Amino acid sequence: MAFMVKHVVGGQLKNLTGGLTEEKSEGEKTEASAQGMTQEEFEQYQQQLEEEKQEREANFAQKKAERATVRTHFREKYRLPKNELDETQIQQAGDDVVLPTELAKMIAEDNQEETHKQSVLGQLSNIQNVDIDQLKDKAQATLEDLKKQTENCNLM
């Protein structure tokens, strides 16, 4: 019983008085010693963690800017309204954002296809029931006929 009273009252007294000398030695321990490092090692560790965090944040910002660049490209391509958030993300990355190489290749291929579609032959291929090879052959035959007729013509 005396043990119980001493334990209950003793714990309360320690809290009121701020603890005894044994607790002060535990309170004096720093984070470094708690982790089993010297103060210098702990500072180097903290510095390394901060550098890694900054590097991750820079990589994340770069990825966000690349995604914003892709979205901006497609907005321009399809004439959609611009987004302020994308522009600010690109500016925050330092305007040195480059499209990933695979995406750049895909965009170049799309641009080539669009230029082909905008040409006369590309427009003709969109028309149904038109054989482009047959059309080319007829055009070449017509040109050859014109050349023969100009050779036989006395005026020319």
Instruction: Give the pLDDT confidence of 73-110 residue by residue, as tens digits.
Output: 888 888 889 888 888 888 888 757 777 788 788 888 88
| Structure token digits, residue 152 | 């036989």
pLDDT of 152: 74
- CA triple 12-13-19, angle to 5 deg: 105
Q: Could you give the percent of the chain with pLDDT greater than 70?
A: 69
pLDDT of 46: 93
pLDDT digits (tens, 9 = 90+) for 39-65: 888 899 999 999 999 999 989 988 888
pLDDT at 27 over 80: no
Q: Please, which residues have CB within 8 angstroms of residue 43's CB and are 6 or more apart in sequence? A: 32
| Structure token digits, residue 18 | 């701020």
pLDDT of 54: 96
pLDDT of 132: 72
Q: CA 75 from chain center: how many Å?
A: 16
Mean pLDDT of the chain: 77
Q: Number of helices (H) and strands (E), helices first, in the chain?
A: 8, 0
Measured distance CA(19)–CA(124) in Å, rounded: 93
Identity of residue 17: T
Measured distance CA(43)–CA(17) in Å, rounded: 34
pLDDT of 23: 46
Measured distance CA(68)–CA(64) in Å, rounded: 6
CB contact at 8 A, 32 and 63: no
DSSP, collapsed to helix, strand or coil, labels residue 1 as coil
pLDDT at 129 over 90: no
Q: Is residue 156 very low, low, confident or very high in pLDDT (cuts 50, 70, 90)?
A: low
pLDDT of 98: 75
pLDDT at 25 over 50: no
- Measuring CA to CA, which residue among 88, 89, 86 is closest to residue 61? 89
